[in-house]
């Protein structure tokens, strides 16, 4: 479980779907790009309070992962990394499902919240696509 989640975190970094580090996480949260903020298990009290400030009054879940700063840093390629912002709902959903599978009592609520957001986004995109198609071709009416 640990390796799978950490490898996914590294993949997110390569896909530019995660902002790594305190400064980048704060910027992503303020810009409403962050879908999930994760914190290392051994993060300092100062980092914890800053992360809480980043998500305060925003609809962004904050979770404390079972990973240490060292483990996160090794997989994302940035030293001393105690927090990250995941900016893609699909990646956030996959990451939370891995964590919820290993520790359901701790992560299932946040996982369900992310899954609901993902479903709403998919529905919205599908409706937008149908709307664009109707605008281009015109919706046909049946006058019977």
- CATH code of residue 62: 3.30.1330.30
pLDDT digits (tens, 9 = 90+) for 109-124: 888 999 999 999 999 9
144 in a structural domain:
no
Report if residue 120 sits inside a domain: yes
pLDDT level of residue 125 (50, 70, 90 thresholds):
very high
30 domain residue, yes or no? yes
Q: What domain range is 72 assigned to?
A: 2-136
pLDDT band at 132 (very low <50, low <70, confident <90, very high): confident
Q: Give the pLDDT band of residue 141 (cuts 50, 70, 90).
A: low
Structure tokens at 4: 């799978």
68 is a domain residue: yes
pLDDT higher than 70, residue 140: no
Q: Which pTM does this prediction carry?
A: 0.83
The reported pLDDT for the residue numbered 144 is 55
39 falls within a domain = yes
Question: What is the H or E stretch that residue 95 is in?
Answer: helix 89-102
Rg for the chain, CA atoms, rounded: 18
Tell whether 142 is covered by a domain.
Answer: no
With respect to residue 70, please indicate whether it lies within any of the assigned structural domains: yes
CA 83/CA 34 separation, integer angstroms: 12
**Total number of domains constituting the chain:** 1
Judge whether 29 lies within some domain. yes
CA atoms within 13 A on the CB side of 120: 6
């Amino acid at each position: 479980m640990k390796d799978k989640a950490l490898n996914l975190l590294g993949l997110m970094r390569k896909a530019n779907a995660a902002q790594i580090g305190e400064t980048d996480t704060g910027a992503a949260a303020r810009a409403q790009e962050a879908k999930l903020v994760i914190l290392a298990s051994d993060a300092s009290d100062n980092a914890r309070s800053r992360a809480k400030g980043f998500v305060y009054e925003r609809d962004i879940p904050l979770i404390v992962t079972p990973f240490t700063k060292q483990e996160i840093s090794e997989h994302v390629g940035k030293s001393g990394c105690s927090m990250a912002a995941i900016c893609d709902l699909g990646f956030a959903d996959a990451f939370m499902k891995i964590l919820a599978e290993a520790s359901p009592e701790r992560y299932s609520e946040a996982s369900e919240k992310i899954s609901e957001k993902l479903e709403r986004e998919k529905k919205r995109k599908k409706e937008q696509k149908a709307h664009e198609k109707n605008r281009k071709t015109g919706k046909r009416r049946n006058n019977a």
